Structure formats: structure tokens, C-alpha cells
Amino acid sequence: MSKTQDEIDFKADLTLQRLQPRLAQVWQESQISDARQHEFELRLDEHWRPLFRLLFELYHNRYDFFFHIEHVLLTAARAWAERREELCELDRHRINEPNWFQSERINGGALYVDLFGENLSKLREHVGYFKDLGLTYLHLMPLFAVRPGNNDGGYAISTYRSVDPRLGTIDDLRLFAADLRKAGISLVLDFVFNHTADDHEWARLAQAGNREFQEYYYIFPDRTEPEKYERTLREIFPTVRRGNFTWHDGMQQWVWTTFNSFQWDLNYTNPAVFRAMLEEMFFIANTGIDILRLDAVAFIWKQMGTSCENLPQAHTLIQAFNRLARIATPGLLFKSEAIVHPDDVVKYISEHECQISYNPTLMALLWESLATRKVNLLVQTLSHRYRLPRNTAWVNYLRCHDDIGWTFDDADAQAIGINAYDHRKFLNDFYTGQFPGSFARGVPFQENFETGDMRISGTMASLAGLEQAIEEDDEEKKELALRRMLLLHGVSLSIGGIPLLYLGEEWGMLNDYDFVKDPAKAGDSRWIHRPKMQWEFLEELDDHRNAGNGSIRTHIYCTTQKLIALRKSLPALAGQEMDLIALSNEHVLGYIRINEGNRLIVLANFSEEPQQIDGNKIRTAGLGRFFQNMIDDKTYATSENIVLAPYQILWLNRV
């Protein structure tokens, strides 16, 4: 250990010693049992030094460091003291089973409360629906009180302490969380900590001229500093506003706004902001949340002369939040939302930072493979980018509430002879339906005419060809679209990690063009893939179950549900271990999942032509001569070639 490290640990110990009387006071006020105090103190012993190092790194130059660290400790102690017994019970289980989320039984879903169930109390009536579908993880899109008018789908939060009154109350949230817990479903909410809405109390105080709160944000009197930052910044929402700063008339100052102009970036170089957001984090966690989705993690630290994305201090900051969660709410997990270059995505993932993370690279490359009918880039990328550290997992998804960005690595593309710039252009043409022969019906998001950059909006079904097929009333095309959807789900559910359904996918919901009628939504094409749940589908499903026939929707629902149930029955699908199988067929993705002696081979044909695979390859990878496709029970002998139908996916178990 270096001398300075030792020096910092010494300071950590001394600090804790000095703060003991303050901690004792918290225990006295809260009157929790000695046993509960003891649990906290054991965890504090384990995590205090690493926590202190992290905060020291960020804030040791601040005159008020000691003041804030005292508050951080007391905030953590109070959070534990206020934590309800049933949550503490879960904490204890999860401390003993830190990889609980790697089970094959975990299946996620995400939804908007209003679009799916109107409000929280009505949503409580749908717990049976989630169970039927097989979900054990439910992400509710942001549901806190928001600014009036455009609120970026809930991401412009006015207070983290109350629910949007249109959706219910904090008590409704607690009740819903308790219902889900009983049903064995984990609840996921966003922790929107990069920015607040411009009408959050802190922002209002800043606007009123309060200097303490002006220091919560990045506020500048003129363009001098913004111009200097601007030289190295990207634009995230270029069609909303050019540049990253917004002029505020009231204050007559410029405010840093990475996203919409009403979303003010928080200034984490100020330890008061860290402490204040920590209180909000514990408040949210203690309503009964299992997983926090850390929104926009890439942007939380800024430094002049850099891109202000993915800076080392962003990691330090999240690690500090993580240590505090380990101390006060130890069952809580973090999920990273870093939709950035794959080298950067993976840096947020560790037991001590975010245990789980969106897998945007896999998502984008599955769509890439569908467009090209080839898996080369996907295989090239997976071959060196899928592995993760211990006790962490990918969250695999196909669509979400956001756009698709083509965030693959240019060098990965180059390595197999693909020009990244041209390829992104092709993918954008393809998914907006402009490329000749395209089956997709996406629309552009944030097209930047200067850089040629563009992302794609659209629902899974519309991007996979169902919208076009229905429009043309073409049975063959409908069949191909259904197969594409099943193929993508089949990969997402088997490749290793937590599969996450964006609800609506289970019905093959199409783009909703009506969003343009709402002025608060019209400027943001992501609303095209945020349609309202149509409960008629479910009635239709019941009729179908009784009568034995069904529409395209009921078909999609039944196959999705069946595949989820199948995943849950296959222990080989737990964990993260995934080995690619070299197949010498550029249209077919092949991999093997191995977990505790269980094996499953997956073969996925990304073309609309039948494809052959040498049976011997399957014999050597799967160590067997006969295999059964778990999806349709058909048996294959490895003495022959294995033939995959157009877009077919096989989950092969040894017989």
C-alpha cells in the first residue's frame, strides 16, 4: 500500500472516530434496536474506508469537505433507521446471495404507468398480468412530479418526494411495491440524478438569486465559459437547441442543459449536491425499490477541454453512491444507462459501481444483423466484448423508450472491412424505410445535418416489418416479421443476462403516429414508440384461448409468453457465461451457454433463406450426438447437416 493510501485510511478512521458521537445521536433519536445498529456498523466498518477514499478524491480540496462527509454519514444512518423491516429482510438475503439477479428465472419488463394502466392504483390490478407473462422485474418509467408542459417523458423532475398527482401518491407507490414484492417481482425506478427540472425547488431558489443554490447548477453570466466548454462537447438533442447551454431570461444567465432546455445539469463538483441527491436516492429506495436505473450516467461530471462524457470522476461518484447503498440499503442494485461507445459502457459495470447495465451494443447489432442478414459485425463485437466482471449482468433489450443509436465500435467494423460512417448511413436509410427493399418503418430522431448523425425511433414490430406487412396485407411478409421478432426475443432471452421486454412488444404494437397531435410531444419522435396499451388485445386473447384460433396479436403474445416460460425452465441460461461457436456461415449466430454443468446451444438464422450448419460442429460444441430444439421439440442428429428455416432460432438441448 502506498504511503498516501495509508495516510488517507488513517484520516478515514480518524474521521469516523470523530463522528461517532453524532452517529450515537442518530441511533438515540431513531430508537432502532441494538441489533439493527450493529448490522449498520458492521457494514460501515467494511465500506467506510473505500467510501472515504472516493469522496476524498472528489472533494478534498473543498473547504467544506468535513461538513459534508458528516452529513453523508448521518444521512446513511437515518436511511437505515427508517428502512422498513421487510426491506431489511431482503437486504440480508441479498448480502448472502449477491448474484440473485443472474438467475434464469429473472425476466424484466418496462412500462409507462399512465400509458399502461392510467395510474398507480389501477396498475395494482395488473400484477396478475405481469405474473402471467412471466415477469419478475418491472421498470416503471419516471413517475415523480414533473414540470408543467413538456417533461421529457417524466425525466424533468420537480421533486423526488412526490409522485405526479395524475399517477397517484407516494403511498400508492409503496403499496404497489409491496404488492410486487409479494408476487416475487422486483421494482425498478429511475434515479434521474444528472439534472432536475427548471422548476425543482433548488432551481427556483437559484432563479431567485440564492447563491447557495446557484452553486447546485452550472450557471454562467456570459458566453465566455460556455464557449470554451462548447469546443469539445457533443450535442445530444441538436433539434431542440444548438449547443449545451440555455439562456435564462429571469436570471439573465446561461445554464448548462445537456438535454432539453428545461433540464438543468447538476454540479457535482459541489459536495452539497452529492449529499442532497443522496438524500433523494435513499428516499426513493426506501419506498421499496429493488433496482435504481441511473439515468444518463455518462454526463454527470464535467471538465473543461474534455467531451464531459464518461470522465473518471463520473465513475468515482457512482462508486461513492454504491458504497453508501451497501451501507444503508444493501439490497439495492444500480443499473447503468450509458448509451455510449462500447469501451465506455463496460466501465460502469462492476460490483462496486453498477451491478447491471443496459447492453446497447447488442441491441444495436441485433438490428444491424437483421438489416444486413449477416452476423459478422455482431460476432466480431461479441467475441471480445461480452464478458463481464463477477456478480454483474447485462440487461438485454431490443427496444426501449429511447431511440436506437448505432454505437458499435468503428475499429470492430474496420476489422471486417466495414466503413463505419457509410454503414451507419445505410442503417439509418434502412430503418427509416428508405433503402430499397427495406421492411422497416422507423422515423429519424435528432438528425444533425452538420455531422450527418441520426438515430432511429420506432416500435419493435414496426422496425421488424409488421407495419409494412399489415399495410400491404401481405401474409408472407407478416410471417417473416413475426419470425424476426421471435428471433430477436430468442437471442435476448438466451444470450446471458437479464432480458428486458419493453411492454407492448408482447403484442407487436405498431408505431403510434398520433403523438404529433399533442404539442408537448410533437417535437420528439420517440413518442412514436410509446403507444398506449390496448386492453382489447387481452380480451381477444381470452376469446382465442377458448376458441382455439387467434389474430396476429394473440399469436405474438403466446409465443413471447411461451419463450419466457421456457427460459425459466433452463438452468443453462443463468449467469453470464457465453461462448461463441465458429459456424462458417455468415448468416447464423451460434453460441453455447454453460452453467453448472448445464449446456444449451443457440443457433439463430438472420436471413430469410434457409441455412445449413455442419452437424459435427454442434456435436463438438455440445458434446452430444442428438439434440432437441426446446422451442418446438424437434430432434436433430449431428450426423447430418442441421437446416435452419428462414429466421429460425433453435435452443438445442442434448438428449
Q: Site residues (CB under 6 A) for ligand GLC?
A: 152-153, 155, 192, 236, 259, 295-296, 298, 337, 339-340, 401-403, 405
In which element (H, E) is residue 5 found?
A: helix 3-30
Query: Which contacts of 228-232 are long-range, i.e. CB under 8 A and separated by 24 or more positions?
Result: 228/304, 228/305, 229/256, 229/302, 229/304, 229/308, 231/305, 232/305, 232/306, 232/307, 232/308
CB 395 within 8 A of CB 356: yes
The minimum distance between CB 298 and ligand GLC, in angstroms, equals: 6
- Cβ closer to ligand GLC: 59 or 348? 348
Cα(427)–Cα(133) distance, integer angstroms: 32
DSSP per position, 160-190: EEEE-TTT--HHHHHHHHHHHHHTT-EEEEE
Cα(358)–Cα(371) distance, integer angstroms: 22
- Cβ closer to ligand GLC: 209 or 312? 312
> What is the gyration radius of the CA atoms in the chain, in angstroms?
25
The minimum distance between CB 379 and ligand GLC, in angstroms, equals: 25
CB 356 within 8 A of CB 346: no
Separation in Å, CA 547 to CA 293, 551, 557, 637: 42, 12, 16, 37
CB 302 within 8 A of CB 219: no
- Cβ closer to ligand GLC: 290 or 403? 403
In which element (H, E) is residue 600 found?
A: strand 598-605
Active-site annotation holds for 295: yes
- Cβ closer to ligand GLC: 453 or 577? 453
The minimum distance between CB 201 and ligand GLC, in angstroms, equals: 19
- Cβ closer to ligand GLC: 154 or 331? 154
- Cβ closer to ligand GLC: 259 or 591? 259
Cα(371)–Cα(426) distance, integer angstroms: 9
Q: Which residue is nearest to ligand GLC (CB)?
A: 155
The minimum distance between CB 610 and ligand GLC, in angstroms, equals: 37
**Which residue among 104, 337, 368, 505 is the active-site one?**
337
- Cβ closer to ligand GLC: 295 or 353? 295
**How many CB atoms lie under 10 A from the CB of residue 409?**
18
* 63: helix, strand or coil: coil
At which residue does the C-alpha cell 386473447 appear?
A: 541
Alpha helix locations (H) across 60-160? 65-82, 85-96, 113-117, 120-123, 127-133
- State which amino acid sits at residue 520: A
* 513: helix, strand or coil: helix
The minimum distance between CB 628 and ligand GLC, in angstroms, equals: 40
Q: Give the residue from 401, 621, 419, 579 showing the smallest Cα distance to 503.
A: 401
**How many CB atoms lie under 10 A from the CB of residue 33?**
9
The minimum distance between CB 363 and ligand GLC, in angstroms, equals: 12
- Cβ closer to ligand GLC: 259 or 397? 259
CB 592 within 8 A of CB 648: no
- Cβ closer to ligand GLC: 39 or 409? 409
**How many CB atoms lie under 10 A from the CB of residue 177?**
24
Cα(219)–Cα(221) distance, integer angstroms: 7
The minimum distance between CB 542 and ligand GLC, in angstroms, equals: 34
**Which residue among 39, 91, 295, 353 is the active-site one?**
295
The minimum distance between CB 593 and ligand GLC, in angstroms, equals: 29
Separation in Å, CA 130 to CA 33, 82, 491: 37, 30, 21
Alpha helix locations (H) across 386-474? 410-415, 420-431, 460-463, 466-471
Alpha helix locations (H) across 265-392? 271-285, 312-328, 342-345, 360-372, 376-385
The minimum distance between CB 309 and ligand GLC, in angstroms, equals: 8
Residues contacting 313, CB < 8 A, separation 6+: 57, 58, 268, 301, 303
* 548: helix, strand or coil: coil
- Cβ closer to ligand GLC: 262 or 591? 262
The minimum distance between CB 168 and ligand GLC, in angstroms, equals: 21
- Cβ closer to ligand GLC: 483 or 529? 529
The minimum distance between CB 402 and ligand GLC, in angstroms, equals: 5
Residues contacting 36, CB < 8 A, separation 6+: 80, 81, 88
Sign of the torsion formed by the C-alpha atoms of 287, 290, 295 and 297:
positive
Task: Tell me which residues are annotated as active site.
Answer: 295, 337
